[in-house]
C-alpha cells in the first residue's frame, strides 16, 4: 500500500486562466434570469473557443442580490476527470467561497444554479445534496443528446422530484442560444466524450 500511495498524483481541478481574465473584464448585468443565463451561455461558448472543455457552463448566484458567487465550465477532457462537469465545478467552487458543504444551511442567503443545459444524472444528484434552492436551465437534455451526449438514466419526473424537495426549477431560459452553442460544438467536431453505444 505504501508504494501505491507514493505513486498517486495530487488532485487539482482549477478553472482555466481565461475565466478569471473574463470575469475581471465582464460587465454583464445579472438582475434577470435572462441576463444570468446570457452570462453562462457566453462562458460555454468561450470554453469551446479556448479549447478548454465541452460546450457547457454553469454559475452559482445569490438568490437575494443575484450576485455571482462562482462560475464553472466543463473540464472533463482537459482534466481527465469524468466528474468535472460545469455544474460540479460551479457548486464546488461556491461551497469553497461560502465556506460550507451545504449551500442551504441556516444563516446563508440562499443560492441558485444557472446552467446552460439541464443537468445530467450525476449533476442532478449533486444538486440535491448541494443545498441549492433554485435551478435555471437553458438547453434541454434532448438538445445535448441530439448531438450525441449521454445524459444518463434520469427519472422522467426529475423536475417534480426536485420541487418536492423545495428546489424551484425554471426551464428554457434562452434555450435557443444555449442549444446553438451545442450545435456549434458538434459542427466544429468537438469531442462527444461519453457517447458510447448502449448495450441491450
H runs (alpha helix) in 10-120: 17-25, 33-49, 76-79, 86-98
Known active-site residue 95: no
Residues 138 and 45 sit within 8 Å (Cβ to Cβ): no
Write down the residue that cell numbers 418536492 correspond to.
164
Backbone angles phi, psi at 60, to 5 degrees: -100, 130
Q: How far is CA 57 from CA 7, 34, 102, in A?
A: 33, 15, 21
Task: Compute the distance between CA of residue 154 and CA of residue 86 in angstroms, rounded to an integer.
Answer: 18
Alpha carbons 136 and 117: distance in angstroms, whole number: 9
d(CA 127, CA 36): 18
Question: Cβ of 185: how many Cβ atoms within 10 Å?
Answer: 21
128 within 8 A of 173, measured Cβ to Cβ? no
Candidate list 34, 87, 118, 141, residue with the active-site label:
87
Residues annotated as part of the active site? 87
Amino acid at each position: 500500500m505504501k508504494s501505491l500511495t507514493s505513486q498517486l498524483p495530487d488532485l487539482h481541478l482549477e478553472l482555466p486562466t481565461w475565466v478569471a481574465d473574463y470575469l475581471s473584464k465582464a460587465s454583464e448585468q445579472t438582475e434577470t434570469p435572462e441576463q444570468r443565463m446570457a452570462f453562462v451561455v457566453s462562458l460555454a461558448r468561450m470554453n469551446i473557443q479556448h479549447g478548454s472543455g465541452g460546450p457547457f457552463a454553469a454559475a452559482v448566484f445569490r438568490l437575494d442580490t443575484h450576485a455571482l458567487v462562482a462560475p464553472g465550465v466543463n473540464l472533463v477532457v482537459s482534466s481527465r476527470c469524468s466528474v468535472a462537469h460545469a455544474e460540479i465545478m460551479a457548486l464546488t467552487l461556491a461551497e469553497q467561497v461560502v465556506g460550507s458543504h451545504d449551500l442551504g444551511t441556516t444563516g446563508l442567503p440562499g443560492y441558485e444554479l444557472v446552467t446552460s443545459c439541464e443537468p445530467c444524472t450525476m449533476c442532478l444528484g449533486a444538486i440535491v445534496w448541494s443545498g441549492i434552492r433554485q435551478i435555471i436551465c437553458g438547453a434541454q437534455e434532448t438538445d445535448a443528446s441530439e448531438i450525441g451526449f449521454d445524459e444518463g438514466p434520469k427519472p422522467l419526473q426529475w423536475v417534480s422530484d426536485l420541487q418536492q424537495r423545495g428546489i424551484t426549477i425554471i426551464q428554457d431560459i434562452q434555450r435557443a442560444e444555449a442549444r446553438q452553442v451545442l450545435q456549434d460544438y458538434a459542427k466544429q467536431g468537438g469531442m462527444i466524450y461519453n457517447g458510447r453505444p448502449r448495450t441491450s
